[in-house]
Structure 1
Amino acid sequence: MVELPGARVLLVEDEGLVALMIEDMLEELGLKVVASAAHVPKACELASGASFDLALLDVNLAGERVFPVARILRERRIPFLFSTGYGGPSLEEEFRNAPAIGKPFSIEQLEEKLRAILALS
């Protein structure tokens, strides 16, 4: 079984209340949010240099797509999970097979997805 406790997370989410809710879920699962961003430029900066084990990426950040961040993470071989809202943009072709979770999601669904991506890394 993959251990979640202690894993360090980059959280990229532009909705403040949603970010707090997700952070609470992650902490309840034993993970630690070590960095967060609400905009693509800051997320790219963090993705390029911060130290973390995995990332949770909202696909749509204030109308801007998060894919530049995902490309940096892929290059660094850091696993990530896309989160998408109802009626939100779909994943670009290059990421169509990437792990994703639809919002709203439960803590159980989040745990299942995180265990799956960590098992593959």
Structure 2
Amino acid sequence: MTDEGTTGGLQGKRILVVEDEVIVAMLIEDILTDMGATVVGPAGRVGKALDLLGAEDVDAALLDVNLAGEITTPVAEELRRRGIPFAFATGYGAGGLPEGFAAQPILQKPFQERDLGQIMAQVLAA
């Protein structure tokens, strides 16, 4: 059961999920859907994420930093250019973020359901 106080801001929001690990992507999708969000994607490659950004309306995004060796900086730059709020998901902490994105919110892997809800609510409230 989710805590409505920390995740109520997700209801009806469209969230781009960029994650290359299928099981993790499915988990994120399930959690966000349970919180009332609509998942755009998930995208497992930078090109796919950029295509989705060009074709879909997105309120926020969650980006894995590293997609099988492909860093998601181009997606982060496009989100920033469009003024779409986002967080990074990484197991490397702030030191693993792409240059120029040290101030972005981080979902530390592994994460709990409430952590995902809180970080996305924080991103959407910013």
Give yes or no for TM over 0.5: yes
Q: What does residue 98 of structure 1 align with? A: 104
Query: Is the contact between residue 9 and residue 125 of structure 2 (CA under 8 Å) also seen in structure 1?
Result: no
Higher relative contact order (CA 8 A, sep 6+): 2
**Which of the numbers 60, 63, 66 marks the counterpart of 1:60?**
66
Query: Is the contact between residue 40 and residue 52 of structure 2 (CA under 8 Å) also seen in structure 1?
Result: no
C-alpha RMSD over aligned residues: 1.9
Q: What does residue 121 of structure 2 align with? A: 115
Moved over 3 A (4+): none
Please report the TM-score for the alignment, with normalisation by the length of structure 2. Answer: 0.87
Q: What does residue 34 of structure 1 align with? A: 40
**How many residues are paired up?**
120
Unaligned segments of structure 1, at least 5 residues: none
1:79 equivalent in alignment to 2:77:
no
Query: What's the % identity of the aligned pairs?
Result: 48
SS state at 1:95 partner: coil
SS state at 1:94 partner: coil
Query: Is the contact between residue 48 and residue 73 of structure 1 (CA under 8 Å) also seen in structure 2?
Result: no
Per-residue CA shift, 1:27-57, capped at 9, x if unaligned? 1111111332101111122223421111110
Query: Is the contact between residue 48 and residue 72 of structure 1 (CA under 8 Å) also seen in structure 2?
Result: no
Please report the TM-score for the alignment, with normalisation by the length of structure 1. Answer: 0.90
